[in-house]
Structure 1
Amino acid sequence: MSIGQSVSKHRFACVTAVCAIAAACGSFALGVGRSIWFDEGYTLIVESQPFARMMDLLKVDVHPPLYYLLLRMWISVFGSDVMALRAMS
């Protein structure tokens, strides 16, 4: 590998990291100080139900249940505050 290729790969990694950090900071800034939105409240209500009840509720939902199942695991790790919910999305 030449020095030029090495510098190019390093530059790409740095630009990618800066973009990822900027996106995360921007997403965080948009959510700070805002109340919970209707769809977030609905999602939290559905997720907080016992598993069998949650599946019953999702039978009439237009979205597949995978998101709710992943969210259940996410909440068990990060909690159910607004920022944790928004971070999953």
Structure 2
Amino acid sequence: MELVFTGQVIEWRGPSPYYFVRVPGEECDDIREVAAMATYGWGVIPVEARIGEIAFGTSLFPKDGGYLLPLKDAVRKPQGLTAGDDVTVKLTVRI
């Protein structure tokens, strides 16, 4: 399953700060349709993502009925992304 969406970078200020992009509702609905086939436990969904020229593998985290895409520093810093920025994400759910 391949999706393209635009979302805002958000910062989670837990024990160690981390950045995410919230997956929009319509795309979350699409992901839920294949979630049972894709998850490897705890509701996380393995994905390949691309933001700009940087492709990376990660897993979507379930949160408040939707999903969050974690942004590694190796993805965020070279592109100068910070909280509040809008980004376009190309996402492939690994089934």
- TM-score of the aligned structures, taking structure 2 as reference length: 0.23
- TM-score of the aligned structures, taking structure 1 as reference length: 0.24
Greater relative contact order (CA < 8 Å, ≥ 6 in sequence) = 2
| Structure ranking higher in strand proportion | 2
